[in-house]
Structure 1
Amino acid sequence: MHITKTILPLSCGWLLFFFTTASAQSAGYRARDYGIPFDGAPGPFNAITDVPGVTVGHTTLISGNGPLVKGKGPVRTGVTAILPRGTTFDPVYANWYTLNGNGDMTGTHWITESGFLETPILITNTGSVGTVRDAAWQWMDQHHYYTPFYHDYWYAYPVVAETYDGIFNDINGQHVRKEDVFHALDSAHGGSVEEGGVGGGTGMMCYGFKGGIGTASRVLDKSAGGYTVGVLVQCNHGSREQLTIAGVPVGKALRDTLPYSIDKQPLGLASTPPREETGSIIVVLATDAPLLPGQLKRLAQRIPLGVTRTGGIGGNGSGDIFIVFSTANPHAFSNTENRTVTTLPNDHINALFTATVEATEEAIVNALFAGRTLTGINGNTVYGLPTAAVIRILRQYNRIPTK
């Protein structure tokens, strides 16, 4: 589920803030449900939450229409939270990788040094990283989500990543607040994960269509250990012409259709100038395979192979930053005591590489299939992926059987 924070004017001139709950994305909207041929076997939810213990929460902020009034709106943004073991504090082995660094992910220096992720992961818009980071610290303090190094003294470096939604959202108004971060963390749950324009992905665009949050998973064969790999993306990258689905150059076929508009000017590839690779993609990968930080780095370095399957190139204006963690080896973290852990031989890691690529590719396509047409500040509009046209194109390439 996700929360939509709606702002309504009252007759007395005040604003009323309330939260409404929306159900998870109904079956039939996800790419696989249309018969798109993805490699590999997904878990029961085909989501990052198929990795046991992982939970996800969203807070979605939508209000206002019309011209941009800085500090007031329109608002099209939010925050997404991923907790490796739910509300249980038990740091996990982790690592990260950046393909192109025109973006931000806080807290990564200590992950590199220590090998552990000690905080939740949050994703939001570029202008709200500081607010979300501070709120995460306060949430951890209130929930005792830490191990003190002396009495009740503790420290942490919350991991907060971002992509830019200023085309549709009053980004400089910094509308994400502490209570929004708390709600995303407190409402995080397992099971189905809502996708598309929700949470941190509310105001995002991907390959010239509505983007946002997407997720997918893969379960390895028992002969490869039976481990699960789950991926969640916040995609805001790519140009229309780059989009590739199931190996088919869908974007080239759709480049002259549904041009998005910014400040009343159409910016499809049929007009000039096209908007090329000025966005970003954040990828969070979880697995229950027993991997050490160095091995997790190797998984993180395979994420770009999944991105490129959908057409991304990690262009100069793109922030492509990826974080990976393992929920295996519970209680491996300690400030004072030795620990004994289990690790997977490197010779057995290829299946995890494959699962990483496959789940990343499908998560991005899922985000696109879940995207819905969005109008934001100044009437700026981006259309949802025309799924019927995509299916028709895939059939022309014999990737989906003709009915």
Structure 2
Amino acid sequence: MTGRSRARALGVLVGPLPTGPLNAITDVEGVLVGHTTIDDGAGLHTGVTAIVPRPMRALPAAVHTGNGYGKLVGSTQVDELGVLESPIVLTGTLSVFRAADAVLTYLMELHPGGLSFNPLVGETNDGFLSDIRRRPITERHVLDALEGASGGLPAEGCAGAGTGTTALGFKAGIGTSSRLQVVEGVPVTVGVLVQANFGGVLTVRGVAMPVEELVPGAGRVEPPGNSCMIVVATDAPLDARQLGRLARRAIFAMGRVGASYSHGSGDYAIAFSTASRSPVLPDAALDPVFAAVMDAVEEALLNSLFMATTTTGVHGHTSHAVPYDRLGI
């Protein structure tokens, strides 16, 4: 990641709200992130990203499907019960099922007397840069991401599940951001992590920046299976229905950076609350939380691109990093 900068360091400020200390999902107390990165410099550019709430307990949660062209293992039980009972793991499309089995191993070790578990594992298709048919993700890769999760600033760009992804015509990857609010006298932190791999035209502060103009001769890269996974964590006291409303806003925010929401895009948002206090906030008080989600998702998506590096992968395909000197910001 040498020489790459986050959006804020480049002067791209999204919205008026302050960020948390790390400007990351890990600003929400008890939320940890771990990566395992696989990059052989040739045909494999993939990995695993784990979002781990600690302590691991049942948390209010919701999933919103913007477009369901994807494989989000475990989502229907979250929808039905409104509860997250697992870390959230992200990886490449054809590795999602092996990853889910590995999360099952993790949960069984965590709860030796349990008889039923619901791993929640999402994906995007990194097959433009990585040979996904090799299905390189093993149980050990997933366990390393889970067991190595920490509360520091997560690596962004070409890290973990973002190692081989492309978005808006450029090399993308993992991005994260956070916002602070006070709602009904209650301090609230909203943190977001994204795995960006979707189509459209990069838009920064309302200005379209097509890859054809920023990288002459590069041509537009629209890999098949475009998708985006968005994870929203908050310490706001919210129930599952209200978290569903947050998850919808997270998908809406993709439009701010130029998403095309194409037929082949699996766009999902997962929102959960770590709050142990009650009662829940009234719906009429949620506008500031909605604003925090929208701004944090937009900045996380920009970070996922701005922190990524040019990558050449399988079949000689190349995905170019956003060139800062041509952004005009």
Alignment TM-score > 0.5, same fold: yes
1:10-47 CA-to-partner distances (Å, cap 9, x unmatched) read xxxxxxxxxxxxxxx67971110111121121100000
Q: Using the alignment, how far apart are the partners of 1:64 and 1:292 within structure 2?
A: 44
Kindly state the Cα deviation for residue 268 of structure 1 after the two structures are TM-superposed.
Answer: 1.1
The answer as to 2:301 corresponding to 1:364 is yes
- The answer (yes or no) to whether the contact 1:124–1:200 under 8 Å persists in 2 is yes
| Structure 2 residue aligned with 1:50 | 27
| Structure 2 residue aligned with 1:303 | 250
- The answer (yes or no) to whether the contact 2:124–2:225 under 8 Å persists in 1 is no
Q: Using the alignment, how far apart are the partners of 1:90 and 1:234 within structure 2?
A: 24
Q: Which among 267, 270, 289 is matched to residue 323 of structure 1? A: 270
Q: Using the alignment, how far apart are the partners of 1:28 and 1:97 within structure 2?
A: 32
Report the CA distance shift for 1:77/1:84 in structure 2 as closer, same or farther (over 3 A). same
1:248-272 CA-to-partner distances (Å, cap 9, x unmatched) read 1122xx423436xxxxxx7614xxx
Q: Which among 198, 220, 223 is matched to residue 181 of structure 2? A: 220
- The unaligned stretches of length 5 or more in structure 1 are 1-24, 66-73, 147-151, 260-265, 331-340, 395-403
| Structure 1 residue aligned with 2:126 | 165
| Structure 1 residue aligned with 2:202 | 243
Report the CA distance shift for 1:243/1:154 in structure 2 as closer, same or farther (over 3 A). same
Q: Using the alignment, how far apart are the partners of 1:216 and 1:26 within structure 2?
A: 20
Report the CA distance shift for 1:275/1:377 in structure 2 as closer, same or farther (over 3 A). same
1:351-402 CA-to-partner distances (Å, cap 9, x unmatched) read 0000010000000000111010001112111111101211x2x3xxxxxxxx
- The answer (yes or no) to whether the contact 1:227–1:289 under 8 Å persists in 2 is yes
- Name the TM-score, length of structure 2 as normaliser: 0.95
Tell me, what secondary structure is at the counterpart of 1:103?
A: coil
Report the CA distance shift for 1:64/1:358 in structure 2 as closer, same or farther (over 3 A). closer
| Structure 1 residue aligned with 2:76 | 109
Q: How does 1:2-401 map to 2 (within 5 A)?
A: 29-39=5-15, 40-65=17-42, 74-85=43-54, 88-144=55-111, 152-221=113-182, 225-239=186-200, 242-251=201-210, 254-258=211-215, 268-269=219-220, 275=222, 278-329=225-276, 341-390=278-327, 392=328, 394=329
Kindly state the Cα deviation for residue 154 of structure 1 after the two structures are TM-superposed.
Answer: 2.1
Q: Whose relative contact order is higher, 1 or 2, with alpha carbons under 8 Å and at least 6 apart?
A: 2
- The answer (yes or no) to whether the contact 1:47–1:216 under 8 Å persists in 2 is yes
Tell me, what secondary structure is at the counterpart of 1:321?
A: strand
Q: Using the alignment, how far apart are the partners of 1:173 and 1:248 within structure 2?
A: 39
Report the CA distance shift for 1:224/1:276 in structure 2 as closer, same or farther (over 3 A). farther
- The answer (yes or no) to whether the contact 2:47–2:91 under 8 Å persists in 1 is yes
- The answer (yes or no) to whether the contact 1:84–1:120 under 8 Å persists in 2 is yes
- The answer (yes or no) to whether the contact 1:277–1:314 under 8 Å persists in 2 is no
Tell me, what secondary structure is at the counterpart of 2:207?
A: coil
* One-letter amino acid of the structure 2 residue matched with residue 121 of structure 1: I
- The unaligned stretches of length 5 or more in structure 2 are none
Tell me, what secondary structure is at the counterpart of 2:279?
A: coil
Question: Which one has the largest radius of gyration?
Answer: 1
Kindly state the Cα deviation for residue 276 of structure 1 after the two structures are TM-superposed.
Answer: 7.5
- The answer (yes or no) to whether the contact 1:238–1:312 under 8 Å persists in 2 is yes
- The answer (yes or no) to whether the contact 2:86–2:120 under 8 Å persists in 1 is yes
1:89-135 CA-to-partner distances (Å, cap 9, x unmatched) read 21110001011111121111111111110001000000001100000
Over aligned residue pairs, what C-alpha RMSD do you find?
1.9
